[in-house]
Structure 1
Amino acid sequence: MPPPTNYDNEEEGHELRSTHYQPYQQQQNYPVRSQEQNAFGDDSDSEDGHPQQHPIPHRDDQPPEFDVYKDFNNSGVRYTTLLHGNTPDGNKLDNAVNNEIHSPAFNEKGNRTADEDDSFIHPELVDTSASHSRLQANNNNSSDPKSMKDKLSGFKSSKNRWKVGSIIAFVCLACIGAAIYFVIPRQPFISFESRPPSLIRIENNNLIFSARNPTNFSFDAGLDITIDGRPSYLPTRISNFKAIISDLGATNDPIRLATGSIAKSFTASNRNLNPISIDLHFEYTTKLPSDLVWQTWRKACGNIQESTINGTITRPSVQVLILIEFNVLGMIGTKFDSTQLTNVGCPAELPAGAPSF
């Protein structure tokens, strides 16, 4: 016959409770009839013919319900109470555990450990939570009426700044444009206001008219011309001034006869007219004395006394084209201006008795 069950073996019960979770193991003093169990089970009849009796617990002796949240919050039935019973030693153990769990050092250690574990295992969750917190804070700030008002004020301020900047930029551009308008020089031109351009005879002009091969003529003369620089708001600096004289009467195409230049640069006034005198050198070469240009200029430059009949000078005049070229400081490229002169007397005179050919 098996030995009866030992309900008072505390050591054996502790080992069993340590292996399996049993929330309620407090010893209860149930009324038990001391009878031996037979080998055929609890429901089988005993040797004396009487059925096996078991203790029936009272409904008020049921173990209280265990709640893990209440256990964590230190309210309700605790696991240690169920494990060790409501004893002074158990209460001391519970108090010690509660004090250790709720101490600041334990909470700080637990938080630090939890943070380290979370950051080590799930770093993306930590970053996402931080981003979510910032986003939520931004959303809360954006929904705040005061924040919206500040943003609206900032937008208006930036808009006003943009307007002020636009006005300042427009004023600067207008000033630059006005400065350019007044500073940039205008091109001077030949003026006929005071006197028209004229060819001037000079002494010792080295006059030569030759009918020999090659047929040619050459002499020196001068050009008086007036330059008008008043279109500019500032005086105009002129350089590389050059004058070209071409014949227009003998042929249909202009024939270059003379050139002259001013070596140094000069300043043309913007208030008054600027008279200029240029030294010219005429030179023309052809094959035969019958050349139309050579014949025209030979007659135009004949002796005045011999060509005067009844007090009238009968020698013919010539028609020329005056072309000037120059550079202006502040302007790009070479500038040009030209004019035509008709009924112009030759700026040279052959001596008396010169052959007429």
Structure 2
Amino acid sequence: MAHYQHEQEGDSHELRSTHYQPYNHQQYQHPARIQQHNAFGDDSDSEDEHQQHPAPDDQAPPEFDVYKDFNNSGVRYTTLLHGTADDSKHEHHGDHQSSGKTPHVAAEKALRDRDDDDAAGSFIGAPASPSTSHARLQPGLMPKPSTRKGRLAQLKSGKNRWKIGSVIAFLIIACVGVVVFLLVPRQPFISFENPPTLVRKEENNLVFSAKDPTRFSFDATLDIVLDGRTSYLPTLVRDFRAIVSDLGVTSGTIQVAKSKRAMAFTASTRNLTPLTTDVHFEYSAKLPSDNLWQTWRQACGNIAESTKNGTITRPSLQLVVLVQFSVVGMLGTKSDSTQINNVGCPAELPAGAPSY
């Protein structure tokens, strides 16, 4: 029991008003000096009684002084947070540097090392915390300036790549648009420089009949010029047809002729494209008194019989020429029309033909 109390006294430290009594290793050599202590840590019967302390030993380590500790010139109160006794405080005092570590300092250092080992072992195998605040408190995980600069550089490079990609996409779209603009064919139109004309044929199979059915028919040639210079590439025209209608007799148009056959050709992009197509005129009415039939009968009369004082008195015609065709590379049927005025009849009745 005495030995147990001896160990308890050896491990305890008695804090006085201004001095700290370090561990005295000589107590292990003199167990007889150990006294029975009460609950207040001494052998007195009351906490008011004066405590008895052994005489200071010359070989004992220096005592702790709070004023020296505040001025960084004395022994530290504890070495758990500030290292061993051989720290910067003892560097200014040569008398303390020569002294070795006391058993109390060694015990505190062993306790601190054991706590560090336990703390390190407790983190082995523990899962990493996803908390960003814990990561920010660790110096090793703090983002370095070079890392932040690298991220900024990556962000800038990403923006630059987006800008470069946008420019490249714009250039590609522009090039495709230019190519499409150049390659897409354009519709040719009837030239206004050379209006269409009707030409009489020698073998025209002319027929004017007042019998039932009242009708007329003959063949002629239509000369027409197309303008395909608006296209950058030659335009392939298919199924070209012409339709001729009368415009002067009624308020509307009445078809009187159309092409015999469809044509296919290539419209030039540098010059006008002249065309000649055969058209067949044909019209039927119920009575010879029909206005359209009478107009065409007079317009196609014999020229010699219709000349008076050197002037041909045959009436002229007001016609509309409509062309319909398809273009390779374009959808649907294209068309264009023009009006021709004061047109002479492309046919002539023989002399002595009856007039109705």
Q: TM-score range by the shorter chain?
A: 0.5 to 0.7
Task: Answer yes or no: is 1:62 the counterpart of 2:61.
Answer: no
User: C-alpha distance in 1, partners of 2:4/2:166?
Assistant: 90
The amino acid of 2:216's aligned partner reads F
What's the CA shift string for 1:269-324, capped at 9, x where partnerless?
Answer: 01000000111011111100000000000010111111122222111111101111
| CA shift for structure 1 position 133 | 8.6
Structure 1 equivalent of residue 159 of structure 2: 159
- Give ranges in structure 2 of 5+ residues lacking alignment: 9-120
Structure 1 equivalent of residue 354 of structure 2: 355
The amino acid of 2:302's aligned partner reads N
Percent identity, aligned pairs only, is 57
1:42-81 map, 5 Å: 58=2, 60-62=3-5, 64=7
DSSP 3-state at the match of 2:172: helix
1:1-357 map, 5 Å: 58=2, 60-62=3-5, 64=7, 129-130=127-128, 132=130, 143-193=143-193, 195-260=194-259, 263-357=262-356
DSSP 3-state at the match of 1:149: helix
DSSP 3-state at the match of 1:348: coil
The amino acid of 1:62's aligned partner reads Q
What's the CA shift string for 1:43-80, capped at 9, x where partnerless?
Answer: xxxxxxxxxxxxxx54x553746xxxxxxxxxxxxxxx
Check the 8 A contact 2:256/2:282 in 1, yes or no: yes
| CA shift for structure 1 position 202 | 0.8
The amino acid of 2:5's aligned partner reads Q
Relative to the length of structure 1, the TM-score reads 0.63
Relative to the length of structure 2, the TM-score reads 0.63
| CA shift for structure 1 position 163 | 1.1
Check the 8 A contact 1:303/1:352 in 2, yes or no: yes
DSSP 3-state at the match of 1:192: coil
User: C-alpha distance in 2, partners of 1:172/1:220?
Assistant: 55
User: C-alpha distance in 2, partners of 1:333/1:217?
Assistant: 34
User: C-alpha distance in 2, partners of 1:247/1:223?
Assistant: 15
Check the 8 A contact 2:260/2:280 in 1, yes or no: no
DSSP 3-state at the match of 1:332: coil
> For residues 261 and 332 of structure 1, do their structure 2 counterparts lie closer, same or farther at Cα, with a shift above 3 Å needed?
farther
What's the CA shift string for 1:83-118, capped at 9, x where partnerless?
Answer: xxxxxxxxxxxxxxxxxxxxxxxxxxxx9xx97xxx
> For residues 141 and 330 of structure 1, do their structure 2 counterparts lie closer, same or farther at Cα, with a shift above 3 Å needed?
farther
DSSP 3-state at the match of 1:62: helix
> For residues 61 and 152 of structure 1, do their structure 2 counterparts lie closer, same or farther at Cα, with a shift above 3 Å needed?
closer
| CA shift for structure 1 position 241 | 1.0
DSSP 3-state at the match of 1:349: coil
> For residues 130 and 351 of structure 1, do their structure 2 counterparts lie closer, same or farther at Cα, with a shift above 3 Å needed?
same
Higher helix share: 1
Check the 8 A contact 1:238/1:266 in 2, yes or no: yes
Number of paired residues? 243
User: C-alpha distance in 1, partners of 2:313/2:168?
Assistant: 73
- Give ranges in structure 1 of 5+ residues lacking alignment: 1-56, 66-110, 116-125
What's the CA shift string for 1:143-186, capped at 9, x where partnerless?
Answer: 22221111111111111111111111111111111112222222
User: C-alpha distance in 1, partners of 2:142/2:298?
Assistant: 101
| CA shift for structure 1 position 130 | 3.9
> For residues 160 and 64 of structure 1, do their structure 2 counterparts lie closer, same or farther at Cα, with a shift above 3 Å needed?
same
The amino acid of 1:155's aligned partner reads L
> For residues 227 and 351 of structure 1, do their structure 2 counterparts lie closer, same or farther at Cα, with a shift above 3 Å needed?
same
The worse-fitting range, judged by mean Cα deviation, of 287-296 and 148-157 is 148-157
| CA shift for structure 1 position 265 | 2.2
| CA shift for structure 1 position 137 | 6.4
Check the 8 A contact 2:241/2:263 in 1, yes or no: no
> For residues 271 and 141 of structure 1, do their structure 2 counterparts lie closer, same or farther at Cα, with a shift above 3 Å needed?
farther
